[in-house]
Amino acid sequence: MARMTSTRRKIITTAVAWAIGLVIFFPIFWTILTSFKTEAQAINDPPLFFNFDWTLENYISVQERSDYLRFLWNSVAIAGGSTLLGTLIAIPAAWSMAFVPSVRTKDILLWMLSTKMLPAVGVLYPISLIFVQFNLLDTKLGLIVVLMLINLPIIVWMLYTYFREIPGEILEAARMDGAKLRQELFYVLTPMAIPGIASTLLLNFILAWNEAFWTLNLTAAKAAPLTAFIASYSSPEGLFFAKLSAASTMAIAPILILGWFSQKQLVRGLTFGAVK
Amino acid sequence: MATKASRSAARIMMAPAVVLLLGWMLVPLILTLWFSFTKYLPMRGDSIERGLDWVGFDNYARFLSSSAFWPSVQTTLVMVGGVLIITLVFGILLAMLLDQPIWGQGIVRILVIAPFFVMPTVSALVWKNMMMDPVNGIFSHLWRFFGAEPIAWLQDASLTSIIMIASWQWLPFATLILLTAIQSLDSEQLEAAEIDGASPLSRFFYIVLPHLGRAITIVTLIQTIFLLSIFAEIFVTTGGAFGTRTLTFLIFQRVIDSQNIGLGSAGGVYAIILANIVAIFLMRIVGKNLD
Amino acid sequence: MGQIELKQVTKSFGNTQVIPPLDLTIHEGEFTVFVGPSGCGKSTLLRLIAGLEDISSGHIEIDGTDATSLVPAKRGLAMVFQSYALYPHMSVRKNIAFPLKMAKMDQAEIDKRVNAAAEVLNLKDYIDRRPGQLSGGQRQRVAIGRAIVREPSAFLFDEPLSNLDAALRVGMRLEISELHKRLKTTMVYVTHDQVEAMTMADKIVVLQAGVIEQIGSPLELYRTPRNVFVAGFIGSPKMNLITGEEAAKYDAHTIGVRPEHIDVVDGEGEWNGTVGVAEHLGSDTFFHIHNTGLGEMLTVRAIGDVSLKHGDKIGLNPRKNEMHRFDAAGLRIA
């Protein structure tokens, strides 16, 4: 609001907002903190905040116990691969819809979104069958394809909204200047849309990273990403809070950092441009 | 508008995305539909190669009449409704709070949004153990501190626990979208209302809330679609026990645990229909925004 | 090089025909302006020539060869867009070089041509800047630079000055005219501003609803508008068009007198009325006259500063020999 607010009021709102923010963030904070405790300290009564001996042993034992790095690599490969593949397929499609719209464009876009609404559990068995048939079960390739298909509507949609902001005259100018379609996309559209494409990549990387239905149901050991890695900690083996915390921290840290850069795109990507 | 050449180029460029999504939609859908009309128990030797027995609507009827069905519908509704109410009410309050001038606004925003980026399996496990563990969880410490008997959350208040976890995950989403919507409200409108003598409360009900109407609808619809298919949170906490078996989880169990594909597929078709009813409303709003 | 011929060209979007069959020849070296109110199809016509839209039927010939189905790049035309359509991620130099790069010209030749264009258009000082850092006028020059390096057989301009402020517009108008004089290349220029048309064109094509109302030099259009529409569209302030009894006196359905062809007289004139708004420009004064009994408000241009004010009685004498007469169909009566 444009009006001047009294300092007193600002102090109160600041205090309230920070308090709520900290409460919401607390589970994450507590997990990170616990990951540096010993197992005994982790379940100390009363809970220890900063007065404990910081240790990295949990991180080491998590890596030794369940080979974190392999899961990390699977997550990176699956999320990255599906996002890149999806973007490559989506750029031409979004170009078509943004710059050569037809009467059907709107219907196609909405239909694409509707595929995103399909409840996964409804098609779990058929997909598993297809995976078995093509030997895709527990492979990175299989998950890359599935996650690409899941996120493709969002990728197309996001790129479409970004492309629509680029004036068509510039592409026409390129055409007048002798650019072929391929050159028009490569030299003119893509560089102009870099910020939008980057946001799209980022958000979809995050979505693919956190996807936890297909990654749990279609992998076993070889291709399992971090979602499955963490799920393996759901059956407790004695005292394990500190190790669980270390594993959790390792699973979410990369994406928390990326996520902080993607707040704005989040709104755009997840509401299909309906809230700006 | 464009030339014939660019229109045919456009069709070609759109083809891969359209064909892939069409396949992704139709192939599993048709298989699910087919299975839902057959007796398909792989553990008892049924297989596609040997041919499946057509049983008509038996699976649909059995799925509806099974003792687990209505409780699962109830669980689903309570869970979705509970999460929606919590995230919307707190989301609106939080969005209005974050719209005020505060010190360190950027950091508070980050704190509030962070849960959205935590993968579902991690949030479920962190809540289950670090927060809700009846002995060592933070809640039990808190309860004891105030002299109360700690609660075995995931057994005695299992559905409430799931609602809490899901609300924690989705509150950032609701807040972020509602905040974006609030920020697009013309502050002159509020000032005009103030000059016209509207109290803060009536300003909220007559100006802010109507302005948020669209965003609230969108948050409701999108969250409903995602919440209906919540899976990992239940999978790693209660495994569907203690009254947390939602429709999605029931179908999952029919397909994976009891390997009754026909029955599970019939359930799947119900779930698809349910999701589509919600999706139609969402599509309408999104579609309007396209013009 | 640079003759463009449109033969029976039509254009429809869906079921709406925006350009009914149209024939037009643009001669080599000519500065042709398409002018008309918005939505008259002038920009569409330009885009048909450019190849950015398909024609629905008919032929387009450029320099005697059929270009109807050629892609834009193969037509040898360059276009300057209303929004300039500069590539925001490229420097001025790269923008100008882009068409040459697409034509796979070798780097030495590209540099030579870009430098020459920069010289001509005074772009040297900001050749390495991005379009975002330039003013409107500078962007306009870059867009023109990008067009001239290709040495096209004709230039197409789509309302190139409409995004500039008034002062800059006059300057750029002169620059483009200057450029035409020097290059002697065919130019086709679209505008809704009849002043631009009058000041720049060798030949004006007046369009309305996709139909050519008249083709001619600026003065031809001014002196002998073929119909009421052209009469009203060309000239500023607008021609006074009077129908009814007064027109009947001259055996016409409509008579037209330009504001500059009505003399203010002392006392009673042939037409009489009261002064409404008087616009004093110093060099001229425009009077808007009410209560003339002619049915319409009259606009009169008096030379110098004539001191009549709101409500004053005024006597007017139209110059008979400068009067235009039109029949019931709106066509000029010779």
Q: Which residue has the tokens 């003339």?
A: C292
Q: Closest approach of chain C CAs to the CA of B4, in angstroms?
A: 7
- The CATH number that applies at residue C188 is 3.40.50.300
Q: How many residues does chain B have?
A: 291
- Closest to C102 in 3D by CA, of B76, A181, B135: A181
C309 C-beta neighbours (distance < 10 Å), count: 9
- Closest to C35 in 3D by CA, of C144, C146, C230, C194: C194
Instruction: Specify whether the CB–CB gap between C306 and C316 falls below 8 A.
Output: no
For residues C156-165, average pLDDT: 89
The answer to whether residues C120 and C176 belong to one domain is yes
The C-alpha atoms of residue C51 and residue C77 are separated, in whole angstroms, by: 9
Range of the domain at B140: 4-290
Q: DSSP letters along C310-322, please?
A: TT-EEEEEE-GGG
User: What is the pLDDT at residue B138?
Assistant: 84
Tens of pLDDT along C106-139? 999 999 999 999 988 888 888 999 998 998 888 9
End-to-end CA distance of chain C: 37
Contact B2 C52 (CB under 8 A): yes
The answer to whether residues C181 and C268 belong to one domain is no
Residue that finishes a domain, picked among C167, C195, C230:
C230
b/e per residue A193-204 (b: at least 16 CB within 10 A): beebbebbbbbb
Q: Which residues of C touch A179 (CB under 8 A)?
A: 73, 98, 102
Structure tokens at C172: 């750029």
Q: Which residue has the tokens 């598993």?
A: A128
**Amino acid (1-letter code) at residue B43:** M
The answer to whether residues C321 and C243 belong to one domain is yes
Q: DSSP letters along chain A, please?
A: --S---HHHHHHHHHHHHHHHHHHHHHHHHHHHHTTS-HHHHT-SSPPSS-S----HHHHHHHHHH-HHHHHHHHHHHHHHHHHHHHHHHHHHHHHHHHS--TTHHHHHHHHHHHHTS-GGGGHHHHHHHHHHTT-TT-HHHHHHHHHHHHHHHHHHHHHHHHHTS-HHHHHHHHHTT--HHHIIIIIIHHHTHHHHHHHHHHHHHHHHH--SHHHHS-SSSS--HHHHHHTTSS--SS-HHHHHHHHHHHHHHHHHHHHT-HHHHHHHHTTTS--
Minimal-distance CA residue of chain A relative to B189: A1
Second CATH level (architecture) for the domain A68-227+252-270:
Orthogonal Bundle (1.10)
Structure tokens at B265: 């597929």
Q: The complex's ipTM?
A: 0.83
* 3-state DSSP assignment of residue C100: helix
Domain boundaries, chain A: 68-227+252-270
Q: What are phi and psi of C28, to 5 degrees?
A: -60, 135
Cβ neighbours for A46, distance < 8 A, ≥ 6 positions apart: B141, B145
Peptide bond into B115 cis (omega under 30): no
Q: Which residues of B touch C52 (CB under 8 A)?
A: 2-3
User: What is the pLDDT at residue A52?
Assistant: 77
Q: Which residues of C touch B1 (CB under 8 A)?
A: 13, 53
Q: Which residue has the tokens 């199809």?
A: C41
The answer to whether residues C220 and C304 belong to one domain is no
pLDDT exceeds cutoff 80 at C159 = yes
Q: Which residues of C touch B4 (CB under 8 A)?
A: 54
Tens of pLDDT along B150-160? 888 887 888 88
User: pLDDT tens track of chain A, all 276 residues?
Assistant: 445 557 888 888 889 999 999 999 999 998 998 888 887 777 777 777 777 788 888 888 888 877 888 888 999 999 999 999 999 999 999 999 988 888 888 888 888 888 877 788 878 888 888 888 888 888 888 899 999 998 898 889 888 888 988 888 899 999 888 888 888 888 999 898 888 888 888 888 888 888 888 888 888 778 888 888 888 777 665 458 888 888 889 888 888 888 777 766 676 666 666 665
Q: Which helix (H) or strand (E) holds C253?
A: none
End-to-end CA distance of chain B: 16
User: What is the pLDDT at residue B173?
Assistant: 87
The C-alpha atoms of residue C36 and residue C192 are separated, in whole angstroms, by: 5
Given its phi and psi angles, is residue C139 left (phi above 0), alpha (psi -120 to 50 degrees) or beta? Answer: alpha
Closest CB to A191 among C71, C82, C89: C89
Instruction: Specify whether the CB–CB gap between A137 and A128 falls below 8 A.
Output: yes
**Amino acid (1-letter code) at residue C203:** K
b/e per residue B118-157 (b: at least 16 CB within 10 A): bbbbbbbbbbbbbbbbbebbbbbbeeeeeeeebbbbbeeb
User: What is the pLDDT at residue B186?
Assistant: 78
Range of the domain at C29: 4-230
The answer to whether residues C226 and C301 belong to one domain is no
Closest CB to B271 among A17, A122, A251: A122
Q: What are phi and psi of C317, to 5 degrees?
A: -125, 110
Q: Which residues of A touch B35 (CB under 8 A)?
A: 125-126
Confidence bin at B163 (pLDDT 50/70/90): very high
Cβ neighbours for C260, distance < 8 A, ≥ 6 positions apart: C301
The C-alpha atoms of residue C147 and residue C86 are separated, in whole angstroms, by: 11
The C-alpha atoms of residue C269 and residue C153 are separated, in whole angstroms, by: 55
The answer to whether residues C31 and C175 belong to one domain is yes
User: What is the pLDDT at residue C304?
Assistant: 81
The answer to whether residues C222 and C274 belong to one domain is no
For residues C228-246, average pLDDT: 90
For residues C78-97, average pLDDT: 91
Q: How many domains does chain B have?
A: 1
Confidence bin at B228 (pLDDT 50/70/90): confident
**Average pLDDT value over all residues in chain C:** 90
The C-alpha atoms of residue B108 and residue B110 are separated, in whole angstroms, by: 5
Q: Can you state the angle between helices B158-183 and B209-228, rounded to 10 degrees? A: 140
Give the neighbours of chain B: at least 3 Cβ pairs within 8 Å: A, C
User: What is the pLDDT at residue B2?
Assistant: 66
Q: Closest approach of chain A CAs to the CA of C167, in angstroms?
A: 25
The C-alpha atoms of residue B224 and residue C223 are separated, in whole angstroms, by: 71
The C-alpha atoms of residue A266 and residue B180 are separated, in whole angstroms, by: 11
The C-alpha atoms of residue C259 and residue B167 are separated, in whole angstroms, by: 74
The answer to whether residues C152 and C61 belong to one domain is yes
B127 to chain A, any CB pair closer than 8 A? The answer is: yes
- Closest to B261 in 3D by CA, of B42, B28, B29, B33: B42
- The CATH number that applies at residue B177 is 1.10.3720.10
Tens of pLDDT along B16-46? 999 999 998 888 889 888 888 888 877 777 7
Asked if residue C264 is part of any domain, the answer here is yes
Asked if residue C47 is part of any domain, the answer here is yes
- Residue A56, burial from CB neighbour count under 10 angstroms (0-12, 13-18, 19+): exposed
Q: Closest approach of chain C CAs to the CA of B6, in angstroms?
A: 9
Q: What are phi and psi of C90, to 5 degrees?
A: -115, 150
Q: Closest approach of chain B CAs to the CA of A138, in angstroms?
A: 16
Q: Closest approach of chain B CAs to the CA of C57, in angstroms?
A: 13
The alpha-helical segments, DSSP class H, found in chain B are 4-36, 58-65, 69-98, 105-113, 120-125, 138-145, 153-156, 158-183, 187-195, 200-203, 209-228, 232-235, 247-252, 261-290
pLDDT exceeds cutoff 60 at B98 = yes
C13 to chain B, any CB pair closer than 8 A? The answer is: yes
pLDDT exceeds cutoff 70 at B291 = no
The answer to whether residues C72 and C162 belong to one domain is yes
